[in-house]
């Protein structure tokens, strides 16, 4: 089975103007995707985040699809999960999101959804890659596609988000700070929370094309922490640039990550008797989550990093709840893909129904000390083929035997090797992680 060259764990991503994120590549990608996903013609829905480069990639993809005989529906800046939903709602053959998620504005990316709002399989991505070296096709004039802009797309998605709240539960009485990372959710997230009755303070909701994820959002929650504490809010939520992940902040200004949010939702679903199948995390999920779920009698499984692999495992086991530490959560009883707004609403509904604060809801899940170090590389490394790395890895695992875990893996979206160590002893975790990272760093030279 051939590996994918361009597609990573979340589509194709890179620095704008450098391969593969060029206009010429986007044109070829659209043509190749059209031939694989809509070979007899059909329709595609395209959304994007707020990056300045989104305009040029939107135009290039539109041209490639129309030339290949595919009708194009443009929805403009909307969260990734909105594109998944609207693709299904408008019965399009597939959907496209132009976004580099939590990356800085100099980066961009392109990812696909199938007609049911799910991620493409590895096999389909390989089929698309197989056609990328061919020039773009142009069908006969009578078969050319058309392009239209869909009005009120945001309203449709907003209605979906609101509908995921339990009947009779509103957010009235809650004071919330919402940080939209100056990204794709900057309009719809505040509107959803306001419609549900919350008193909101928006930050990170003034995109200018260059400030997406810049000192704000789920990867930089410090501003949210200060604001929540400063205005004495009940909680805060921070989305990433494309709105498919969320981290929260309790009323004391402490961050609540994806593992903790997953526990809160799982615990409530389990108590209500609505949790089916195992909860699925990843190899990076905190060991405290696994132990807390075990105490409830809830089975827990780990998948490879990437929401696509969490989703595959959920489908294989009949589970409905899974996610990543980063806040990319899957509530398959509500949506088809990771959705930061919907995930946050599930937690806020639990707060309202139980009368407990977010701080109280997470007390039953201990978070073991966990250190993640990123080692930047100039080339791809096969870690299994480097004896020094494997020796250091074996030594680290032996040192933590029975008290922690070590994960060593290449990032699927950036030129990084991620070194993660966790355990009960914080000093041992730090020493082990730093020593292993140094071995990897030397191997990368």
Residues designated as active site: 101
Q: Are 283 and 304 in contact (CB under 8 A)?
A: yes
Intra-chain end-to-end CA distance of the chain, in Å: 30
Measured between alpha carbons, how far is 239 from 182 in angstroms, rounded to an integer? 9
Measured between alpha carbons, how far is 103 from 341 in angstroms, rounded to an integer? 19
Range list of H helices, 175-221 = 188-195
Environment class of 323 (CB within 10 Å of its CB; exposed 0-12, middle 13-18, buried 19+): buried
- Length of the chain, in residues: 445
Task: Report which of 360, 365, 268 is spatially closest to residue 321, judged by C-alpha positions.
Answer: 268
Rounded to a whole number of angstroms, the CA Rg of the chain reads 22
Measured between alpha carbons, how far is 404 from 310 in angstroms, rounded to an integer? 22
Measured between alpha carbons, how far is 29 from 27 in angstroms, rounded to an integer? 5
Measured between alpha carbons, how far is 44 from 54 in angstroms, rounded to an integer? 17
Strand pairing report for 42-48 and 70-77? parallel
Residue 348, CB-side half-sphere exposure with 13 Å CA sphere: 33
């Amino acid at each position: 089975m051939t590996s994918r060259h361009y597609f990573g764990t979340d589509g194709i991503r890179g620095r704008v103007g450098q391969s593969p994120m060029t206009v010429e590549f986007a044109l070829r990608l659209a043509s190749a995707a059209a031939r694989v996903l809509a070979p007899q013609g059909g329709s595609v829905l395209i959304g994007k985040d707020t990056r300045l480069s989104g305009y040029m990639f939107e135009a290039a993809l539109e041209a490639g699809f129309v030339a290949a005989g595919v009708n194009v529906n443009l929805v403009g800046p909307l969260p990734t999960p909105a594109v998944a939903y609207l693709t299904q709602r408008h019965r399009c053959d597939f959907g496209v999101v132009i976004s580099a998620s939590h990356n800085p504005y100099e980066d961009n990316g392109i990812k696909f959804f199938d007609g049911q709002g799910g991620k493409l399989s590895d096999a389909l991505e390989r089929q698309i890659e197989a056609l990328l070296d061919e020039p773009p096709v142009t069908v006969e004039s009578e078969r050319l596609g058309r392009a239209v802009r869909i009005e009120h797309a945001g309203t449709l998605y907003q209605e979906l988000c609101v509908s995921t709240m339990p009947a009779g539960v509103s957010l009235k009485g809650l004071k919330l700070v919402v940080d939209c990372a100056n990204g794709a959710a900057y309009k719809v997230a505040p509107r959803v929370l306001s419609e549900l009755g919350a008193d909101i303070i928006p930050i990170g909701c003034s995109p200018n094309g260059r400030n997406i994820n810049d000192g704000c959002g789920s990867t930089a929650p410090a501003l949210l922490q200060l604001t929540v504490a400063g205005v004495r809010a009940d909680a805060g939520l921070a989305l990433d640039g494309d709105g498919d992940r969320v981290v929260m902040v309790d009323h004391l200004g402490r961050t609540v990550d994806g593992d903790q949010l997953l526990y809160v939702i799982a615990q409530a679903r389990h108590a209500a008797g609505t949790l089916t199948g195992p909860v699925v995390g990843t190899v990076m999920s905190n060991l405290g989550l696994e132990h807390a779920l075990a105490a409830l009698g809830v089975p827990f499984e780990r998948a490879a990093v990437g929401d696509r692999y969490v989703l595959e495992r959920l489908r294989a086991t009949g589970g409905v709840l899974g996610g990543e530490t980063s806040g990319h959560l899957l509530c398959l009883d509500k949506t088809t893909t990771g959705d930061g707004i919907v995930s946050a609403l599930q937690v806020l509904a639990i707060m309202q129904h139980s009368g407990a604060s977010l701080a109280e809801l997470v007390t039953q899940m201990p978070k073991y000390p966990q250190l993640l170090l990123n080692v930047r590389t100039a080339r791809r490394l096969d870690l299994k083929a480097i004896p020094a790395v494997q020796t250091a890895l074996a030594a680290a695992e032996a040192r933590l035997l029975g008290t922690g875990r070590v994960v060593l893996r290449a990032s699927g979206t950036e030129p990084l090797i991620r070194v993660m160590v966790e355990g009960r002893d914080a000093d041992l975790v730090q020493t082990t992680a730093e020593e292993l990272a140094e071995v990897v760093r030397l191997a990368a030279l």
